[in-house]
Chains A and B, each alone.
Chain A
Amino acid sequence: MDEINSRFFGNASSIHSFGQSAREVVDQARSDIAKVLNSKPSEIIFTSGGSESDNLAIKGVAEGILKQVQSLSSTRSGDDNFKPHIITSEIEHHAVLNTVKELEKERKIEATYIAPGKNGVIKAEDVERAIKPNTILVSIMYVNNEIGTVQPIREIGKLIEKINLQKQEKNKKTHTSYSVLYAPNSSRIFFHTDAVQAPEYFDLNVDYLHVDLLSLSAHKFYGPKGVGILYKRDGVKLKHQIIGGSQEYKLRAGTENVAGIAGMAAALRQVESRKSKVESISNLRDRLMTGLLKISESRINGSIEKRLSNNVNISFKNAEGESILMMLDQAGIAASSGSACTSGSLEPSHVLTAIGVKPEWSHGSIRLTLGKDTTEEEIDKVIEVMPGIIKKLRKMSPLKN
């Protein structure tokens, strides 16, 4: 702590020289991160992590629009009954899913939850079909955190851009530019993606992806825990969620986590250099998958092709996930069942349920993820110990295989 404080002592908002050198650290980090995302530095908002970024993006857009509508309806042609519509998917992280559900419960918005295909992938045409005149936001994750399936973000982004252009054209024909301002139904649809799982493997270029908002969490790319980013395209109006000082363009009050921000920028700069390792990780992952599938009554959850290179999510019938994990842990192997955030809840994973996995399979699912330092020996150890674990548990089970 002393070391960190001596390097990052000043408050980045202070005038004195300690403060100014902290400011420089934050500014440098912001422009380094902007470079990776192909954005402007002013479009980067530092947060405490992925969950906060998701909250700020979704609640920020929804409440920002509601505020606008309210102030209009108190003057004149605003629409009192306007209720914004948000589209998201059934397989989002809880930071997105529960935020949308809460806004819905508070009757601030209406929501559509898109069901994925059995392969765990959302179809762009399903998003298109769900769009209504009052849709203000689409939030679809880049890569699913449980089953690793990759969503067609660029395709959805281009689709929304096309629809926004059509809206604009239509408005030009039917309204004067003055009245457009007072017709929230014709406002632009914003596109948010929770990209927390993506940086190690996928393109984060926001223009290539055609996204307006993008959430990242530093510890998912070997940065420090407790710090993250929300990318917000110029022109997207957000209502702040943390009130106080004017940090982060008045969108996120609070003294900057200078050390965390510096660490995050350094980690993100290194991501590109690791992308060459993707192929070897994916080969190891395939070796693991093939090895484990030799166990009878086992199967992979989610698409194998459209999948993060480091993720295995596998179900064993007639063996329970947590018991498998405990036995793996005894053998020195760390895995998780469902997502780490939901362990302790008794419900089967909402992601597995959404892709149609039946309870007898979903309760026996575990997720193994590989990292940059995972070795072939480690993979072979898992393949070696797993059959014995499953056999032991099945022997104890009252159900017949």
Chain B
Amino acid sequence: MQYSKEVEEHFQNPRNVGEIKDADGIGEVGNLRCGDVMQVFIKIGKRQTANGKQEEYISDIKFKTLGCAAAIAASSMMTELAKGKSLDDAYKISRDDINDSLGKLPVQKYHCSILSASAIKKAIDDYRRKY
């Protein structure tokens, strides 16, 4: 498989790997049948915006992924994109944001960006349902 430098790098040195024990939200996508399973843990913080409003943001994020190099790199890139973003902005992270930041995945691995984009949305949904 011909991967970009970015994919190779994120696969070899994935960012934010692990679990958050007291996570505020958890998103799980994929299944064993298709071969990729992804879990995302988020911790939510509150901060003041420039115009004085309160906003919620992703203060910490971790992932665990069982899958191919593209799935691991896409998870890692997604956590980098999401970390520190407001919940609303993090929710808007798209498959193409992840794919572009990775210097494009091979066509047959594009689904890995879809998977990681839906993992972060699920984690935020999980948080919003609970709180």
Interface residues of A (CB under 8 A from B): 318-323, 326, 330, 343-346, 348, 359-360, 363, 393, 395-399
Contacts and interface: CB of A to CB of B under 8 A. Distances in A.
30 contacts: A318-B66, A320-B35, A320-B66, A320-B67, A320-B68, A321-B68, A322-B69, A323-B11, A326-B11, A344-B1, A344-B106, A345-B108, A346-B34, A346-B108, A346-B111, A359-B32, A359-B33, A359-B35, A363-B35, A393-B66, A396-B14, A396-B17, A396-B65, A396-B72, A397-B65, A398-B28, A398-B38, A398-B39, A398-B65, A399-B66
Nearest to B7: A326
Contacts of B64: 396-398
Q: Is the interface of B mostly helix, strand, loop or mixed?
A: mixed
Task: Please provide the 8 A-B residue pairs with the shortest distance between their CB atoms, ordered closest to farther.
Answer: A397-B66, A398-B39, A398-B64, A322-B68, A363-B35, A326-B69, A359-B32, A360-B32
Contacts of B14: 396
Interface in B8-53: 11-12, 14, 17, 28, 32-39
Nearest to B107: A344
A389 to B, nearest CB: 12
Given A330-B12, A343-B1, A397-B65, A323 B37 contact: no
A344 B67 contact: no
Nearest to A360: B32
Contacts of A395: 17
A395 B108 CA distance: 26
Interface string B64-96: 111111011000000000000000000000000
B17 A323 contact: no
B61 to A, nearest CB: 14
Interface in B99-131: 106, 108, 111
A338 to B, nearest CB: 11
A332 to B, nearest CB: 14
Given A359-B33, A359-B35, A398-B39, A344 B108 contact: yes
A346 B31 CA distance: 13
Contacts of B11: 323, 326
Nearest to A399: B66
B66 A398 contact: yes
Given A344-B1, A344-B108, A396-B17, A323 B35 contact: no
